[in-house]
Structure 1
Amino acid sequence: MPAIKTTATVALLAASALALSSCASSKRNDDKAAGTDAASAAKGNTNATLNFGAAGAPATFDPFYASDGETFRISRQIFQGLVGFKPGTADVAPALATKWEPSPDGKTWTFTLKTGVKFTDGTPFNADAVCKNFKRMDSQNAAGQTASEYWLTNMGGYNGAKGELYQGCTAKGDSTVVIKISRPTSKFPALLGLPAFSMQSPTAMDKYDANGIKAQGQGFVYPAYANAHPVGTGPMKFEKYDQTNKTVSLVRNDDYAGDEKPTVKRIVFSIIPDETARKQALASGQIDGYDLPNPVDWPSLKKDDNLEIRPAFNILYLGLNAKVDPNLKDLRVRQALYYAINRDQLVRSLLPSGANVASQFIPSTVAGYNKSLQPYTYDPAKAKSLLAAAGKSNLKITLWYPTEVSRPYMPAPDKIFNAIKSDWAAVGVQVTPKPMPWAGGYVTGTQNGNAAAYLMGWTGDYNTPDNFLGSFFADPKGQMSVGAYDWGSKLADALSADDSIVDEGKRASAYEDLNKQIMEQYLPGLPISSSPPAIVFSKKVTGVVASPLTDEHLWTAKVDK
């Protein structure tokens, strides 16, 4: 039985099990005892520990200040949002809100909350707690505004700033919340399912100074809450972060109010940055599963373990920041850097089967994808010609790439870096490498706009073009600093206008046109590829549904130990 199953497979297996149970009960008189045994087997060992191999350390335990997948993977086990996503899909589903209703103009949303829910510190979850969370998110100091990338890219500002999407939260009794936004948007209410907007205990946030974040160098000093005291309503509770042994431990929340109770007692995340080491740890039984196995290992893992390939819902891109390197302001330079990369070879040799060369900044499954756009070809001669025309034949550039991590869109960052460096050297571009640990300055350094050129990617949070394009370009001061160009504000305005189109067909058409403009007129960065990532578990583990959003509920695992 596969460890990870699509929703359809789960339904089929359930139906098969029911049929077999019916046949058995007709053949023997001890059907009640057999049914009890079967239920116990299906439930698995509820006192088991699931050991999961993480590719990197979490940046923080407060998801509001996070933008990295390792933090979000842990957060998804501890916290819940007002909405969530149906397992195995990108479809919005109820979570802490049981239902929601927009006003006719799409700017006022009324949420009905689940009752009888408590945070794991005993604080009641209610409408007042929801509004306290939103007030906290919208009231950030300078460091917090820099760190809370998801709020900025989705809400557009803080404290009533011009253009901010969020306009206020009002509690109507204990179980009704009204949230106002400044304009209709395709991303509401889906964005409220993001880990960054999870509901957190107001009591714990006050007690442990959740907003006391400070900037330090290229990173941040997080307060006690973010380091050791995260409190949510989810199926698991934070236990400890053992930095010596590089493990994060969660324990079951026995008071979890969800319909599906946790099937494991503990989840331990073992931080193992090297993919080969993760594979060896799985083979030896040290861990029960891990994410992002190397594509070259897929055949053996499929044979010996339970490997599931997720749908591709991501983009790997090469970010460019003309504010850091003014040479990049010239469109011909950016085009030359693109023509110089042999992406067909890069995808074939370094990315998994099913990966595609990207023609734009959204994957082909997202509405607004422009099918008429063709990927830039590999043309070293044209790259040299463009550099010469721009007077940059001896261009020097610093290229950042992450270490101690694998990402769904970038399983081997060092190899991808070396491929690009080699291609650029062939057209006369001298590359200065800048490797940096993913959780040791890379994410915050690129997020703060400190890198001239860097490798980064994005796995979709929900299925709208704004989730990709808005995350990249809505903030003129963001990673690619489109504000450094004279068209930066025009692009940001176009993104907001297109996202506000209520008619889905018209909105998709507008985004198709905008994707063409981005690639042909603006080219703020270089989309590289879109890849289907995999996740693998031991044959002893079943019950985890693979997610295109990497939103796996590890707490539903059934561990046969």
Structure 2
Amino acid sequence: MRTGKVVAVGAVAVALIGMSTACSKNTGKSGNDNGPSAKVASGSISTDPADSKGPAPAIKGAKRGGTIISYHERDYEHLDPQRIYISDAQALDELVTRQLTAFKFDPKTGSSVLVGDLATNTGVDVNHDGKTWKYTLKSGLKYEDGTPIKAADVAYGVARSYSSNLSDGPHYIQQWLAGPGTYNGKYKGPYNGGAAMPPGVTVSGNSITFHLKSSQPEFPYAASWGTTSPLPKSQDSNPQKIDTHPFASGPYKIESYNRGTELKLSRNKYWDPKSDPIRHDYFDTLDVKIGVSPTDQTNRVLADHGNDQYAVVDQPGVSPELTSKVLADPSAKGRTLNDFLSFAERIDINTQRVTDVNVRKALNYAINRNALVQVNGGTSQAAPATTLMSPTVAGWDKYDAYPGAATPDGIAKAKKLLGGKHPKLVYAFANTESGQKLATAVQTALQKAGFKIVLRPEDKDNFFTAIDRKNNGWDMYATNWGADWPSGSTVIPPLFDGRTIVAEGNQDTSYLNAPDVNKQIDKIKAEPANQATKDWGKLDEYIMKKYAPSIPLYYIKQLSLTGSKVHDVKIQNPPGAISYVDAWVG
């Protein structure tokens, strides 16, 4: 998945490392001095149905009532749960919609565990082969209008995710149901003449079963995504409405939404805390103020006056220019949140347009990662990256395919690869404060090696949707990715399996389609979990050394600030964003 911060396992209990959670500070050194100090904690799939029972444990000292103000620079691209693949939207929808499973954070252990959300457990592997997964919904679940949530509604939610017009979200479940080839090559969802029940899905009473084409022991993880958010067919007369007003099944509902300006959540009175092991509804209202620059956000919340005592610097976080000021201000002590997210920022090189691998390698030698870290506010905001996966992901392996980047030696290597040529490349970026600064720094670095970089600012609220189009018309663009769950299987295949490339809604935005990479992806997917964990890291390095389809920039950290009246807001992975499920004011 992508982050909204920077636009600049038997078959069930697979224990995987790589989940960094909550709001601890980082020193910049790891225990083995082998990379940045992204926390490594265990994340696993619960096999105890008791973990899936509500209510969520009470938060000490928490009070009910009040409003939290959440400051955002840019708007959400999508709120339709089937379309969400960006972390800030996922964090908001965490309050509004529910899925079959979800991650539950344990503050005592500092780790997360996957539990049943709408479902009574994390799924039953019916035939003990990872190919047939059954879920039974909890009793008494209701939508915002008081009508019951049914298993057939979950099936319909999955069905609509096949539509090419709703292709922005993850495609794991659809692909596993469809088998090899394009997931929506035959069945295209209910808007295109298809049935309301997708192929491979059956419903019996309050149970739903998924019949997959291949063994997928990580299916319970995929079931935590918006793909399994329920929606009655009767509420889907206008799919575009769902994108701004998803039909609430969580503790909050959309009260009002003015695109580009403000979004308000209010309580969903039909949500039953006894059914929910994860969420609380302590605050009355979440008021998302959209279009506020990071500088204004930071100055307002740091001052801690009036309503800003109830505010959060949310997206993209503390302004880079004000980082030192915030960290040095005694009044901010106890109000700052700082931790690694599970994301790595990179520039994708459109391999359809930049076909010469030597040009792509030269770009990697020329980039100045240290300068980009400083542009983003220094080591409290980022750490230089040389890999595609984040060090928070299981199987991450430290390597540097293009050593000496941005040094005289690296520039010389870049020029040698270019052989006297001066390629003219269009760099597209989201037109935000941070996106503009990152673009200027990228242009400055690459021009030293002889590149001619044309900067192309684009609509900040639809930037990811635009680069996901196969024929986007640009040579390079900054983007990022984090594991959808703690496994390299959710990083390398989505980003570099060229067989998944379609007209719109792509995650492979370098548009690399290399048969040898595709073959290795298939091989690793079939391996035991422990071996696959290591091999995803090896394939990361192979891709960069042979094809250089991307330029790793930095591992993303979040530095945020809250008003003095806001409590128990967290930086949480997943979703890799500010989480409000435990938040309260007082």
Common topology (TM > 0.5) = yes
Q: In terms of mean alpha carbon deviation, does 61-70 or 532-541 score higher?
A: 61-70
Between the aligned partners of 2:220 and 2:330, the Cα distance in structure 1 is: 37
1:224 aligns with 2:256: no
CA offset at residue 387 of structure 1?
4.6
Between the aligned partners of 2:269 and 2:579, the Cα distance in structure 1 is: 16
1:96-245 → structure 2 map (5 Å cutoff): 96-99=118-121, 100-102=123-125, 103-138=127-162, 140=163, 142-144=164-166, 148-152=167-171, 155-156=174-175, 162=181, 164=183, 168-174=200-206, 176-185=207-216, 187-194=218-225, 196-203=226-233, 205-206=235-236, 208-210=237-239, 223-227=240-244, 229-243=245-259
Between the aligned partners of 1:163 and 1:494, the Cα distance in structure 2 is: 19
CA offset at residue 300 of structure 1?
4.4
8 A Cα contact 1:460 1:468, kept in partner: yes
Q: In terms of mean alpha carbon deviation, does 474-483 or 452-461 score higher?
A: 474-483
CA offset at residue 251 of structure 1?
0.5
Task: State the match for 1:83 in structure 2.
Answer: 101
Residues 496/120 of structure 1: CA separation in 2 closer, same or farther (3 Å cut): farther
1:495-534 → structure 2 map (5 Å cutoff): 495-501=521-527, 503-534=528-559
Secondary structure of residue in 1 paired with 2:92: helix
Between the aligned partners of 1:157 and 1:381, the Cα distance in structure 2 is: 46
1:337-348 → structure 2 map (5 Å cutoff): 337-348=363-374
CA offset at residue 89 of structure 1?
4.4
Residues 101/281 of structure 1: CA separation in 2 closer, same or farther (3 Å cut): same
8 A Cα contact 1:79 1:198, kept in partner: no
8 A Cα contact 2:88 2:577, kept in partner: no
Deviation per CA, 1:363-398, whole angstroms, max 9, x where unpaired?
Answer: 123222123556632245554555555556211111
1:458 aligns with 2:458: no
CA offset at residue 157 of structure 1?
8.5
Task: State the match for 1:216 in structure 2.
Answer: none
The one-letter amino acid paired with 2:344 is I
1:473 alignment partner, one of 491, 496, 502? 496
Task: State the match for 2:18 in structure 1.
Answer: none
CA offset at residue 200 of structure 1?
3.4
1:65 aligns with 2:83: yes
Residues 285/67 of structure 1: CA separation in 2 closer, same or farther (3 Å cut): farther
8 A Cα contact 2:176 2:212, kept in partner: no
CA offset at residue 520 of structure 1?
1.0
Between the aligned partners of 2:486 and 2:228, the Cα distance in structure 1 is: 19
TM-score, normalised on structure 1?
0.79
Between the aligned partners of 1:101 and 1:205, the Cα distance in structure 2 is: 29
Secondary structure of residue in 1 paired with 2:243: helix
Secondary structure of residue in 2 paired with 1:532: strand
Between the aligned partners of 1:79 and 1:286, the Cα distance in structure 2 is: 28
Secondary structure of residue in 2 paired with 1:106: coil
The one-letter amino acid paired with 2:155 is C
Task: State the match for 1:320 in structure 2.
Answer: 349
1:397 alignment partner, one of 425, 431, 453? 425
8 A Cα contact 2:425 2:454, kept in partner: yes
Q: Give the unaligned 5+ runs of structure 1.
A: 10-38, 211-222, 406-411
Between the aligned partners of 1:480 and 1:204, the Cα distance in structure 2 is: 34
1:557 aligns with 2:579: no
Between the aligned partners of 2:488 and 2:356, the Cα distance in structure 1 is: 27
8 A Cα contact 1:200 1:230, kept in partner: no
1:539 aligns with 2:564: yes
The one-letter amino acid paired with 1:334 is R
Instruction: Name whichever structure is richer in helix by fraction.
Output: 1
Residues 114/105 of structure 1: CA separation in 2 closer, same or farther (3 Å cut): same
Residues 356/258 of structure 1: CA separation in 2 closer, same or farther (3 Å cut): same
The one-letter amino acid paired with 1:85 is F
Task: State the match for 2:92 in structure 1.
Answer: 74
CA offset at residue 448 of structure 1?
0.9
Secondary structure of residue in 2 paired with 1:151: coil
Task: State the match for 2:268 in structure 1.
Answer: 253
The one-letter amino acid paired with 1:347 is V
8 A Cα contact 1:240 1:250, kept in partner: yes
Task: State the match for 2:40 in structure 1.
Answer: none
Deviation per CA, 1:112-147, whole angstroms, max 9, x where unpaired?
Answer: 321110111233112222222222223x1x433xxx
Deviation per CA, 1:522-547, whole angstroms, max 9, x where unpaired?
Answer: 22111111022123211211133331
Deviation per CA, 1:316-352, whole angstroms, max 9, x where unpaired?
Answer: 00011022x2xx2111111111111121333245344
Q: State the percentage of identical aligned residues.
A: 20
CA offset at residue 98 of structure 1?
1.9
CA offset at residue 93 of structure 1?
2.1
Between the aligned partners of 2:259 and 2:369, the Cα distance in structure 1 is: 38
Q: How many residues are treated as equivalent by the alignment?
A: 491
Residues 509/280 of structure 1: CA separation in 2 closer, same or farther (3 Å cut): closer
8 A Cα contact 1:315 1:527, kept in partner: yes
Task: State the match for 1:281 in structure 2.
Answer: 300
Between the aligned partners of 1:426 and 1:515, the Cα distance in structure 2 is: 28
Secondary structure of residue in 2 paired with 1:336: helix
Residues 6/159 of structure 1: CA separation in 2 closer, same or farther (3 Å cut): closer
1:494 aligns with 2:520: yes
Q: Give the unaligned 5+ runs of structure 2.
A: 1-20, 26-57, 185-197
CA offset at residue 7 of structure 1?
9.6
Secondary structure of residue in 1 paired with 2:139: coil
CA offset at residue 268 of structure 1?
0.8
Between the aligned partners of 1:505 and 1:322, the Cα distance in structure 2 is: 32
Residues 490/531 of structure 1: CA separation in 2 closer, same or farther (3 Å cut): same
Residues 41/495 of structure 1: CA separation in 2 closer, same or farther (3 Å cut): closer
Deviation per CA, 1:382-422, whole angstroms, max 9, x where unpaired?
Answer: 545555555562111111111237xxxxxx32222211111
8 A Cα contact 1:237 1:251, kept in partner: yes
1:431 aligns with 2:453: yes
Residues 301/188 of structure 1: CA separation in 2 closer, same or farther (3 Å cut): farther
Task: State the match for 1:359 in structure 2.
Answer: 386
Residues 452/251 of structure 1: CA separation in 2 closer, same or farther (3 Å cut): same
CA offset at residue 235 of structure 1?
0.7
The one-letter amino acid paired with 1:205 is Q
8 A Cα contact 1:204 1:225, kept in partner: no
CA offset at residue 232 of structure 1?
2.4
The one-letter amino acid paired with 1:191 is A
Secondary structure of residue in 1 paired with 2:211: strand
- CA RMSD, Structure 1 to Structure 2 (Å): 3.0
Between the aligned partners of 2:231 and 2:384, the Cα distance in structure 1 is: 43
8 A Cα contact 2:347 2:551, kept in partner: yes
Task: State the match for 2:356 in structure 1.
Answer: 330
